[in-house]
Every structure is written in C-alpha cells, then in structure tokens.
C-alpha cells in the first residue's frame, strides 16, 4: 500500500466507529489481535507509549484474550504524536458513550469496544475494513496490510531494520529482513520526496 492509498483508506474511514482502530494499526504496525486486545491501562498518552501484552482471537470457546506467542511480541512501542491526539479524542468520546449508556455498558478496560463496551469481534472488524477499503478504491487489502504498510514506510524512510523488528515484535531480525526485502526504488523515491518536502529547500 502506498502512502496515497493509505490516505485514501483513512479518508474513507473518517467518522467511522473503527477509524481510530485502523489509524492506530497503521501508525504502529499492530496485528489485529494485538490492537483489539489493547487495554487503556497499557496506553500512556502522556509519555506517548503503548504496551502490547495481549492478543484477542476467536476460538471454539468464543472470544479469548491470550498472551502473545513470543517474548518479542510483548513489547512497548512509541506512539506518533498524531496517534496520541487521535486516541485522546477517541477516549473522550468513549467515556461520554459510557456515561450516556446508563448501566447498559460493560466495562472491560479495552480501548476498542462495541457500543455497549464488549470486545470487538475480529471477523466484524475484517468485514468493516473490507467495506471501507472498497470505498477508498482499494482491493485485495486486509487489516494486516496496515501492519505491512507501516513497516514498509518505516524502512523506506531509512529506519534501521533492527528498529522495525522491535517495533513490529518479530522474533528475529532475519524475519523482518526477509519479509520486507522488497522495499525498493519506488519506496525509496517516496521517502526522498517526503524528505524534500520536509526540508523545503
């Protein structure tokens, strides 16, 4: 996904209940299960950090919170300033929804919930993402594309592969290098153009 495509997707999601979820996944390269399992107690908006400690998945026993499979997946990652601002606004809206729910709202401490405070169903998130992607003119993309794109953007901007590995929670440097070895001239040109805009020669 190019930066332009990512922008189109985010524009399509503007005002959608899941907009903040998708923005955070793109900003931090979170897996869907990691984002859906995120608790407010794991988010430090003042320091601009979040801790990945859980993953949410659908099992034969229903929705289940589990610890990540590897030690590397349990990690603390920095939040971009725009993500902090987005989460602050989202939290304000969420607290207002809980106040007006008058006892009907369940409190699980999760960042992303249904209107009544229950965990989001991963399959429903996938379906909603597909609808928004189509509205944005994108085909063949999934929520995992956001993670993939975050890594590609970081690498194209010159971020060290080791740093990207830690950011994504890959178990080894080799995995990150192998998966994203395709980052090439197009992404490098995009990064150079962005740098040019930032410097405003």
Burial of 6 (0-12, 13-18, 19+ CB in 10 A): buried
Domain spanning 3-199, CATH architecture = Orthogonal Bundle (1.10)
- pLDDT of the residue at 24: 93
- pLDDT of the residue at 108: 81
- pLDDT of the residue at 132: 93
Residues 174-188: tens digit of each pLDDT: 777 777 766 556 666
C-alpha to C-alpha distance for 52 and 76, rounded to whole angstroms:
6
Task: State the number of CA atoms in the 13 A half-sphere of 33 facing the CB.
Answer: 16
Residues 76-134: tens digit of each pLDDT: 999 989 899 999 999 999 888 877 776 666 778 899 998 888 899 999 999 999 999 99
pTM of the model: 0.82
Alpha helices in 14-103 (DSSP H): 19-28, 32-36, 81-100
Q: What are phi and psi of 65, to 5 degrees?
A: -95, 130
* Contact status, residue 34 vs residue 168, Cβ threshold 8 Å: no
pLDDT, average across residues 124-151: 91
**Can you give the residue ranges of every domain in the chain?**
3-199
pLDDT, average across residues 21-27: 92
pLDDT, average across residues 142-162: 84
Catalytic residues: 31, 69, 147, 170, 180
- pLDDT of the residue at 117: 82
Residue 71 has pLDDT above 90, yes or no: no
């Amino acid at each position: 996904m190019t930066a332009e495509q990512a922008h189109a997707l985010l524009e399509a999601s503007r005002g959608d209940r899941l907009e903040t979820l998708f923005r955070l996944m793109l900003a931090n390269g979170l897996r869907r299960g990691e984002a859906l399992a995120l608790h407010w107690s794991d988010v430090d908006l003042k320091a601009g950090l979040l801790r990945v400690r859980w993953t949410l998945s659908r099992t034969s026993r229903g929705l289940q919170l589990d610890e990540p499979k590897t030690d590397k997946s349990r990690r603390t990652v920095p939040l971009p300033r725009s993500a902090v601002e987005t989460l602050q606004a989202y939290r304000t809206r969420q607290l207002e929804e809980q106040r007006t729910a008058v006892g009907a709202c369940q409190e699980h401490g999760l960042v992303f919930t249904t209107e009544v405070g229950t965990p989001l169903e991963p399959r429903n998130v996938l379906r909603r993402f597909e609808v928004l992607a189509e509205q944005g003119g994108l085909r063949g993309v999934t929520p995992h594309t956001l993670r993939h794109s975050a890594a590609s953007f970081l690498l194209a901007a010159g971020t060290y592969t080791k740093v990207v590995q830690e950011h994504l929670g890959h178990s080894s440097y080799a995995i990150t290098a192998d998966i994203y070895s395709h980052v090439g001239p197009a992404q490098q040109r995009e990064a150079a153009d962005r740098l040019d805009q930032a410097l405003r020669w």
